[in-house]
Amino acid sequence: MRKVLAILLPFLLFLTACSGGEGEGNDAGPLSSVKIERGEDGAAPTVEFDKPLSAEDPTLTRVNNGDGAEVAAEQTAMIRLAIVNPEDGSISQETYTAEQAEGIAVDENLKTGNSQMYDALLGAPVGSDFAYYIPADEETGREENFLVFTVTDAKDTVKPLTQDEAAARNADGSLLMAPEEVESLSADGKLPEVTFAEDGTPTVTIPEGAEEPEKLIVKVLEEGDGPVLEASGTVVANYLGVGLRDGATFDSSYERGEPAEFPLSNVISGWTYGLAGQKAGSKVLLVLPSELSYGDPAAGSSPSGPLVFVVDIQEVK
């Protein structure tokens, strides 16, 4: 299901960009026949409408009003969505049955990229259902698409720091936790515990009641003796990433069977400043606050909130 999430939300955001913000807002127009009946126990909804569905312009309308709090500017609207066949009403893919909803930041970027989506989400009560039809466009090559989606929550957003913001914080000493404080947390059993299997694969155990750190935690588990990784360099590493809140794995090069290669200038800030200065051959534990990872909630299908990484540095370039 995670693979479906990784496809569908970027798909929706791609459509919002392609639609250009023109067209109907909350005027149902050609979508006036659409009825969305929510499924039981988190199942995908039943969607009914006069078939086939068509419209000359991108049309987005609120079909059902929710009874929750209204989505405010700069919040993240958490949504679940389904791709519907406009000819027969069948659902080809959906995220209603996924483990978690995905987020769309209701911010200036969305307002600029697609004012239609921004206007629809801003002020919408949580629990509202929407229908979104985008006609084919021969000039751009855009295909016809019809989606329904539900706003399941609205969350205040912790945005990830930009590289410039992180650099400024690093310069004034407020980015990384002091080594003695890291050691104190470790001695008190408040850091994630890492064990390695015989083949080198790590397992991370999150301590009960683990709290998001205010600063980046870097703990060298095993120091290598190779060249030092510069902030402008490239790292080749095996790594495991889990959420601090639930310990669930969201990414692992070990599962893929080969190390990954990243320029430190093009990764999340927690990696840039957590790995710069480390030696090839080192194994490092990183605990990243939300602002040094992907934010909270994260955009798209990226993991939200504070994250934990175990990084085995194979090579530096």
Query: At 281, which CATH number?
Result: 3.10.50.40
Domain's final residue, options 156, 185, 218: 156
Question: Residue 171 has which token pair?
Answer: 């310069």
pLDDT of residue 7: 45
User: Contact, 101 vs 153, CB < 8 A?
Assistant: yes
For residues 303 and 241, the answer to whether their CB atoms sit within 8 Å is yes
Chosen domain end from 129, 156, 183: 156
Is residue 174 located within the same domain as residue 286?
yes
pTM of the model: 0.70
68 shares its domain with 148:
yes
Q: What angle do CA 290, 230, 179 make, to 5 degrees?
A: 55
Q: Are residues 233 and 186 in the same domain?
A: yes
Q: Does one domain contain both 169 and 289? A: yes
Regarding whether 222 and 147 lie in a shared domain, the answer is no
Per-residue pLDDT of the chain (317 residues; tens, 9 = 90+): 344 444 455 556 655 555 554 444 456 688 999 999 988 888 999 999 999 999 988 899 999 999 999 999 999 999 999 999 999 999 999 999 988 788 888 988 888 888 889 999 999 999 999 999 988 888 878 788 899 999 999 999 898 998 889 999 999 888 999 999 999 999 999 999 999 999 999 999 999 989 999 999 999 999 999 999 999 999 999 999 999 999 999 999 999 999 999 999 999 999 999 999 999 999 999 999 999 999 998 876 789 899 999 999 999 99
Same domain for 225 and 137: no
Give, as one character, the DSSP assignment of residue 62: E
Is residue 264 domain-shared with residue 138, that is, in the same domain?
no
> Is there a single domain that holds both residue 183 and residue 292?
yes
Distance CA 133, CA 146 (A): 4
Which of 122, 156, 190 is the endpoint of a domain?
156
What pLDDT score was predicted for residue 4? Answer: 43
Instruction: Give the containing element (helix H, strand E) for 109.
Output: helix 108-113
Instruction: Tell whether 7 and 150 lie within a shared domain.
Output: yes
Residue 259, domain extent: 163-316
Q: 135 and 216: one domain? A: no
pLDDT for 5: 44
Cα gap 270→259, rounded to integer Å: 19
27 shares a domain with 67: yes
Q: Are residues 73 and 189 in the same domain?
A: no
**How many domains does the chain contain in total?**
2
Contact 260, 253 (CB under 8 A): yes
Strand, coil or helix: what is 197? coil
